[in-house]
Structure 1
Amino acid sequence: MNTIYLVGTCDTKGDELRYLRECIRQSGCRVVLVDVSTSDLRSHAQDVDVHPGEVASFHPDLPKRKQLGDRGEAVAAMSQALVEFIRSRNDVDGIIGAGGSGGTALIAPAMRALPVGTPKVLISTVASGNVAPYVGPTDISMMYSVTDVSGLNRISRVVLANAGNSIAGMVLNKRASVGDDGLAIGLTMFGVTTACVQAVTRALDKSFDCLVFHATGTGGQSFEKLVDSRLLAGGIDVTTTEVCDYLIGGVFPCTSDRFGAFARTGLPYVGSCGALDMVNFGAMETVPSKFRKRRLHVHNPQVTLMRTTPDECDTIGEWIGRRLNSCTGPVRFLIPELGVSAIDAPDQPFHDPDADAALFSALERAVRRTDKRQLTRVPLHINDPQFAELLVANFQEVLREQ
């Protein structure tokens, strides 16, 4: 029988969770009710399948967890424990949760820890606002509760029933496998590297399912989430620009874990310097005052680009190099010496040979080269068709090494 995990705080949402459980059971699915209450780890509810004490036991520092008195600290600790609890289960066909702001923050990380493709529904009082901190790079479906998740009424019953039917429908009608269309590979792209990535996909799309990710922070995280989930055979990371925003303060940053999925999985990796000449901001008026005198370029009315300096490029190259050194599988990193984006070329607004030279030198200095990890300078522009051909050839090579 398909098993759906239902997660929430039974001390404050007990009636709502039990109602939701009955709605799901009517579809024919088995429901495991997980109580993540933080007020009392013993939980006296007799009809709970997993009590909060059992969840808390998965916390890496349980004695400290028992001493927590502050509610915020308790929620954070229980959330961490829930992540490890969910990872330990091998029967999660789907997961659903309900809560206010605290419950949403508690439950969402456990949902993000599950592979892409596992159905996830989160009913929340904060789902009509900015949900990026909760959804992150995963496929969580968030449903606005309309009324607070506090009591059953004519509105909450309908919303909860719809949510229950939706998770049941996802589980009962789930595709047999996310990866049943042959080998899939991930590629990262920005508008200024589109020509390169499109040429690569044209060369590979007969042999691979090519998944292109927009390098806007979340896009890169989604790319690496699929790597962690082993839903990709490897990656062609043409556009590593999110590192610029992370290190300098743009609006499309990666996280400190960029390249971490390849370090953990050892999957084949081919990368390049795509759009490392720029930091992203919103409309011109949103550019921080400390950057107003820098070289700026209006990409469109909502996006303003700032050219990276030689000092910044040195830092960026050093950071990427150290991260590449942690990758355990075959790695090829190609440096396009004639420009890293469409606007980094002669007569283009971000053409800066000194900044590019600093970037390339830092990469060469930082990357520890081995038989499996190689760094190559190429006398081509990143959008040159020959550069795309080299990326394809290097990817085919690292696949053979795998």
Structure 2
Amino acid sequence: MAGADARPCVLVLGTCDTKLSELLYVRSHVLQHGVGVKLMDVGRNPVLHRDLDYPSAEVLAHLATRPELDLMERGQFIGTMISAASTLTASLYSQHVIAGAICIGGSGGTSLGASVMRSALPIGFPKLIVSTVASGNVGNFVGETDITMMYSVVDIAGQNSILNPILENAAGMITGAAKAYYDRLERNHKESPDVEKRKKSVAITMFGVTTPAADAARAHLERNGYEVFVFHATGVGGRAMEYLISQRRIDAVLDLTTTELADELIGGIMKGGPDRLTAAGRVGIPQVISLGALDIVNFGPRASVPTQFANRHLYEHNPDITLMRTSVDECRTLGTQVAAKLRTEVKKQDLTRVFIPLGGISMLSIENGPYRDESADKALFDAVVQGLDGSGIAVVKDQRAINDDGFSTEMAKVLIQFMEKDSSM
């Protein structure tokens, strides 16, 4: 870490050819809070200014080869600048030059800044974007990370009495976060080398209809000294978990609730993406898997359910979420997909196990539950068993329902055995 007279520093990122005065305004207010600034220009047209730390030409110099910028269309240039700025930002982060990052921009600048933050800065590092598009669907910008978005209300096009206070607030927010991050680094740096090693971490997936199972598994793992991260299987939750696994931030997975696969297959609103249920196998960490909530697909309010599903078995979970029961054919496909993903991706078959709760895969499909469908469940279970036959991945059939006492605890016990067995941990 830096010496005693050092202070945290914030990276201010934006297109200086279109947003210079606003960027300088943010810079001045960051400095007023006693925090250093590094101003990076990611604009297309070169700008000269004494307060610029990284002019666009210097940023582009971090590319392996210098492209022909004059021949590029706008989208191609943004992609090129993302690559260059990501390389420079990652270097600034790894050298502890910066303790926070803020970007201001319209749709193009937001896309550029968010891409840089997602690729170059880890979860836990302060990241803030003031954007003209922050009041809409920001999923494409935030992705699986912890980027904070602030709506600019008016366009970022000249200083005025509406925009300036927003930029001042943003400067205050990022400097406060940067100070907190910097202080945490200082504390960690000063800790004795004899401090106990970090706890091994376990990811658990849950949904409202599998919450009792997730709670029981979490309690057992925590009693045995493990740090537990619970991911809500809302689509982005599963993607965030897969991302952290690929970043080797998670040591083992209790993938209790694989419901996002159903939304991905059928077109629900909580899709886990094509890589769901793959990262743990690729990385080679222990994983214990179940089929939680594969009996449902998630849609928005009832009026938003696609017309082709109007005659299906629908259930209003709450005013904003309508569930649809998966059919026999859909369940058979889902079981085949689960098995295929595991057969293809798992490197350590002896550290992977699948648990099938014959008594019900959610609180809706237990005996006498509204989604009880033994034919659909059987199609799902049979497809998993048949698909994994001869794979080396063991499948356990359990008569209990997923939320019954002891089912998920048994999964947790097996996962602990795997972690103790795994020589790489």
Same fold (TM over 0.5): yes
- 1:45-64 correspondence to structure 2 within 5 Å: 45=49, 47-56=51-60, 63=67
SS at match of 1:31: strand
Matched, 1:396 2:404: no
- Report the alpha carbon displacement of residue 161 of structure 1 after superposing the two structures with TM: 2.3
Rate the CA distance shift 1:59–1:181 in 2: closer, same or farther, 3 A.
same
- Report the alpha carbon displacement of residue 122 of structure 1 after superposing the two structures with TM: 0.7
Cα pair 2:242 2:275 within 8 Å, conserved: no
1-side partners of 2:69 and 2:309: how far apart? 44
> Any stretches of 5+ residues in structure 1 without a counterpart?
none
The amino acid across from 2:319 in the alignment is P
C-alpha distance after superposition, 1:6-32 (max 9, x if no partner):
211111011211222232233343322
Cα pair 1:189 1:239 within 8 Å, conserved: yes
Larger mean CA deviation between 110-119 and 255-264 belongs to: 255-264
Matched, 1:68 2:72: yes
Matched, 1:215 2:219: no
Matched, 1:176 2:196: no
1-side partners of 2:163 and 2:85: how far apart? 26
Rate the CA distance shift 1:118–1:355 in 2: closer, same or farther, 3 A.
same
SS at match of 1:14: helix
Cα pair 2:99 2:179 within 8 Å, conserved: no
2-side partners of 1:279 and 1:337: how far apart? 20
1-side partners of 2:180 and 2:118: how far apart? 21
- Report the alpha carbon displacement of residue 168 of structure 1 after superposing the two structures with TM: 1.4
SS at match of 1:102: helix
The amino acid across from 2:296 in the alignment is M
Matched, 1:102 2:104: no
Cα pair 2:282 2:347 within 8 Å, conserved: yes
C-alpha distance after superposition, 1:276-331 (max 9, x if no partner):
11111122221111111122222233222111122212222232333333244632
Give the aligned partner of residue 294 of structure 1: 312
- 1:325-336 correspondence to structure 2 within 5 Å: 325-328=344-347, 330-336=351-357
- 1:242-261 correspondence to structure 2 within 5 Å: 242-261=260-279
- Report the alpha carbon displacement of residue 65 of structure 1 after superposing the two structures with TM: 7.0
SS at match of 2:104: strand
Residue of 371, 380, 386 corresponding to 1:359: 380
Residue of 346, 350, 354 corresponding to 2:371: 350
- Report the alpha carbon displacement of residue 193 of structure 1 after superposing the two structures with TM: 0.9
Matched, 1:284 2:294: no
2-side partners of 1:62 and 1:327: how far apart? 40
Larger mean CA deviation between 331-340 and 9-18 belongs to: 331-340
Rate the CA distance shift 1:235–1:381 in 2: closer, same or farther, 3 A.
same
Larger mean CA deviation between 224-233 and 209-218 belongs to: 224-233
SS at match of 1:176: helix
- 1:233-272 correspondence to structure 2 within 5 Å: 233-263=251-281, 265-272=283-290
Percent sequence identity is 38
SS at match of 1:173: helix
2-side partners of 1:262 and 1:234: how far apart? 8
Give the aligned partner of residue 190 of structure 1: 207
Rate the CA distance shift 1:98–1:317 in 2: closer, same or farther, 3 A.
same
Rate the CA distance shift 1:275–1:13 in 2: closer, same or farther, 3 A.
same
SS at match of 1:146: coil
Give the aligned partner of residue 14 of structure 1: 20
Q: TM-score normalized by structure 1? A: 0.88
2-side partners of 1:265 and 1:87: how far apart? 23
Give the aligned partner of residue 200 of structure 1: 217
SS at match of 1:159: helix
The amino acid across from 2:242 in the alignment is E
1-side partners of 2:77 and 2:171: how far apart? 28
2-side partners of 1:338 and 1:56: how far apart? 59
Cα pair 1:115 1:229 within 8 Å, conserved: no
Rate the CA distance shift 1:86–1:323 in 2: closer, same or farther, 3 A.
farther
1-side partners of 2:70 and 2:381: how far apart? 51
The amino acid across from 2:143 in the alignment is G
- 1:18-57 correspondence to structure 2 within 5 Å: 18-37=24-43, 39-40=44-45, 43-45=47-49, 47-56=51-60
Q: TM-score normalized by structure 2? A: 0.83
Matched, 1:160 2:182: no
2-side partners of 1:296 and 1:321: how far apart? 27
C-alpha distance after superposition, 1:344-376 (max 9, x if no partner):
2232222222222222233234448666x5433
Cα pair 1:86 1:110 within 8 Å, conserved: yes
Give the aligned partner of residue 380 of structure 1: 400
Q: Report the RMSD for the aligned CA atoms in angstroms.
A: 2.9
1-side partners of 2:397 and 2:87: how far apart? 43
Larger mean CA deviation between 328-337 and 215-224 belongs to: 328-337
Larger mean CA deviation between 240-249 and 278-287 belongs to: 278-287
- Alignment length (residue pairs): 398
> Any stretches of 5+ residues in structure 2 without a counterpart?
1-5, 189-195
C-alpha distance after superposition, 1:225-256 (max 9, x if no partner):
44344443322111110111011100111112
1-side partners of 2:321 and 2:164: how far apart? 43
The amino acid across from 1:200 in the alignment is A
